[in-house]
Amino acid sequence: MEIKKALRQFLEYMEIERGRSLKTISNYKRYIERFINFSKIKKTNEITEERVREFRLYLNRQPGVKSNKQNKTTLKKRTQNYHLIALRMFLKWMLKRDIKSLAPDKIELAKTSSRQIDNIGKKELNRMIHVSKKNLRNHAIIQLLFSTGLRVSELCSLNRDLDFSKDEFTIRGKGEKLRIVFLSNEAKISIKNYLNNRTDMDEALFIQEGPNVVKLEEENIPLRLTQRSVERIVKQIAIEAGISKRVTPHTIRHSFATDLLRNGADIRSVQIMLGHSNIATTQIYTHVTNEQLKDIHKKFHSKD
C-alpha cells in the first residue's frame, strides 16, 4: 500500500474511531512524516528494521536545546521516543488491517532517565496565593489550579456558567475524558468574588483585562485567556513572591498531587483526580512517599 494513503487512513482512524484530539493527530502526522521523508519510502512494506535504526540514529544526532553557546545537546530521549511511539502506533494499525509492513514489536523505545518534576513547597505556594490577592482574577486562577490540579488547557476551557456553589464540577480533559474535580472553600470564594466584579458578558470564566477589553467586547472578539496568558500570569506571580525557580501552571498541578500524597492519599486516587489514563504517569510522584519512608526509617530503625 502507498505510505501516504496508509498514513491518511491511520490519522482518520485516530481522529474518528479513537477520538484523539486534533493536536494529538497533528503530532502523529508530524512525527511519522519525519520518518517517511527521512527514509524516502513510498510503500508500507518498505519500512524495515534497518530504516528504523537509521532514523533513530538520525534523531539521536539532531541538535537539542542549547543552554548556552558552548553547551550543545542532542534531541531529548523523551522527544525521540515520541517519534517512535507514533511510528509504532502506525505499525499496529497496519498489522490489524493485514497491511504488509514491519511488526510493531520490532521497535523498542530508548531508555530515559527518571522524570524529574518541578515542584514548589507549601510556603512558596502560600506566598504566591498572598501576592495574587491584589488581583481578583489572578487570585481565582491560583486558587483554582491548586484546588483542582487542572491542566492549563482545562482551566482555559472553563465557562462562567459552571455552578461554583457546589464543591465539585466535571471537566473534559485529555482524550475527551470526563472527570470530577473538587473545589476548596477558598477557591469558591475567590471565583465568586471575581465573577461578582465582572461587567462583561463573555462566556469564558477567565478573560483578558486592560484598557482594550471594552473595545474587543464591542467588536464581539472573544476575551478568553489563552494558555500562554495564564502561563505569563503564574510566572509573574511567582517572581513577585520571590521564587527564583521557574513556576508554571503545571508546577502548581505537581504541587496539588504532592500535597495529596503527603496528606495520605493513595496513588490510585491521585491518578483519578489528575486524569491520568495510565498509573505509570502518576508514579512520578512516588518520590514524595519515598521521602516519607526515609523519615520513618531514620526515626524507627536501629533504636535500642
Q: Please give the grid coordinates belonging to residue 135.
A: 488581583
Three-state secondary structure call for residue 171: strand
Say whether 297 is catalytic. no
Looking at the structure, do residues 281 and 132 belong to the same domain, yes or no?
A: yes
pLDDT for residue 176:
76
Domain assignment of residue 262, yes or no? yes
Domain-terminating residue out of 75, 106, 137: 106
Look up residue 83 and give its amino acid.
Answer: H
- The Cα–Cα gap between 10 and 85 comes to 14
Say whether 254 is catalytic. no
CA-nearest of 173, 165, 168 to 183 is 168
Domain assignment of residue 269, yes or no? yes
Looking at the structure, do residues 162 and 235 belong to the same domain, yes or no?
A: yes
Looking at the structure, do residues 83 and 128 belong to the same domain, yes or no?
A: no
pLDDT for residue 65:
52
Say whether 96 is catalytic. no
pLDDT for residue 258:
85
Number of domains within the chain: 2
CATH number at residue 241: 1.10.443.10
Domain assignment of residue 114, yes or no? no
Catalytic option among 77, 250, 262, 287: 250
Catalytic option among 151, 188, 194, 254: 151
User: CA dist 185 to 170, 225, 253, Å?
Assistant: 17, 24, 18
Looking at the structure, do residues 274 and 145 belong to the same domain, yes or no?
A: yes
Say whether 123 is catalytic. no
The pLDDT tens digits along the chain (304 residues) read 999 999 999 999 998 888 888 888 999 999 999 999 999 999 999 999 999 999 999 988 887 654 444 455 677 888 888 999 999 999 999 999 999 999 999 988 877 665 556 678 889 999 999 999 999 999 999 999 999 999 999 999 999 998 888 899 999 888 778 899 999 999 999 999 999 999 888 999 999 998 888 788 778 888 999 999 999 999 999 999 999 888 999 999 988 888 888 888 888 888 888 888 777 777 777 665 555 555 654 665 555 5
Domain assignment of residue 171, yes or no? yes
User: CA dist 277 to 62, 175, 262, 273, Å?
Assistant: 31, 9, 22, 11
Looking at the structure, do residues 136 and 217 belong to the same domain, yes or no?
A: yes
Domain ranges, residue 93: 3-106
- pTM here is 0.67
